[in-house]
Amino acid sequence: MNAAAYLERIGYQGPRAPTAETLRRLHLAHLYAVPFENLSIHWGEPIQLDDEALFEKIVTRRRGGFCYELNGLFAALLRALGFDVAMLSAGVGRSAGEFSPDYDHMTLLVTLEDRWLADVGFGDSFREPLRLDERGEQMEGDLAYRVEETGDSRLLMARREGGPWKAQYRFGLEPHVYADYADRCHFHQTSPDSHFTQNRICSLATPDGRVTLSGMKLITTRGGEQEERELDESEYAEALRDLFGIEVKRFS
């Protein structure tokens, strides 16, 4: 792991000691620099779950990825800096109150003096690590998060101010390796039932909101205000390059 190159990729120049403050800063820097995107699936680029392949894609080629890629490589960076980190299996909350299968999402457990939930691969979710063992609300602006304990599992809940609590995902605390996620990663790359095969997505957090390409639509959120605009292919390629630093090789 070339940690210096990775830190340059995310524009990080802060402390490197394995502390909660370093984790917080790294987490934010990653979310502001590396997009959540599934373009490889639509461009016919097989996704390989190993540190070397992910480093080449995300750091060297300055691409993004989805949860297995982003959290997997972020875990490798944290380990290189001396953090105790484990990859966890999660099932994503669905509207009917059910959850997707285990290994459908990868999230991270970072153990310091306290235990922290870190996740740079879930799209529009918490921006700073959450205390895993805190049962009260953890606030980020007008968003509140809460970790609930349910037997051997934990539930990550979220709500906007005044709104209902919704389950983001359910996860266990057993550590895993890349091979454990292989079947679900293959499913998301190939199955017509996966939402990742149904639509192209590229999304990046910004200090005051988020910018997203969903299909051919550009969605910009600033200070709670959202703007949407349909793009043609030329505009799409320009937005992908200028907003995310990604060059279009081909269109699906």
Burial class (CB in 10 A: 0-12, 13-18, 19+), 116: buried
Q: Which residues of 77-88 are buried (b: 16+ CB within 10 A; e: fewer)?
A: bbbbbebebbbb
Asked about 67 being catalytic, the answer comes back as yes
CATH architecture for residues 3-198: 2-Layer Sandwich (3.30)
Q: Give the single-character DSSP code of 199.
A: S
Segments making up each domain of the chain, as ranges: 3-198, 199-252
Q: pTM of this prediction? A: 0.94
Among candidate residues 27, 30, 104, 119, the one labeled active-site is 119
| Residue 199: half-sphere exposure toward Cβ, Cα within 13 Å | 10
Residue 251's pLDDT is: 44
User: Phi then psi for 213, rounded to 5 degrees?
Assistant: -105, 115
Question: Among candidates 128, 152, 169, which has minimal Cα distance to 29?
Answer: 128
Asked about 119 being catalytic, the answer comes back as yes
Asked about 185 being catalytic, the answer comes back as no
Task: Give the pLDDT of the chain (252 residues) as one tens digit per residue.
Answer: 899 999 999 999 999 999 999 999 999 999 999 999 999 999 999 999 999 999 999 999 999 999 999 999 999 999 999 999 999 999 999 877 889 999 999 999 999 999 999 999 998 889 999 999 999 999 998 899 999 998 889 999 999 888 899 999 999 999 999 999 999 999 999 999 998 999 999 999 999 999 999 999 999 999 878 999 999 999 999 999 999 999 887 544
User: In the block, which residue shows the tokens 């879930």?
Assistant: 122
Among candidate residues 30, 105, 185, 188, the one labeled active-site is 105
Yes or no: say if 24 and 1 are a contact pair by the CB < 8 Å rule: no
Among candidate residues 67, 104, 185, 202, the one labeled active-site is 67
Summarised one tens digit per residue, pLDDT across range 175-193 is 999 999 999 999 999 999 9
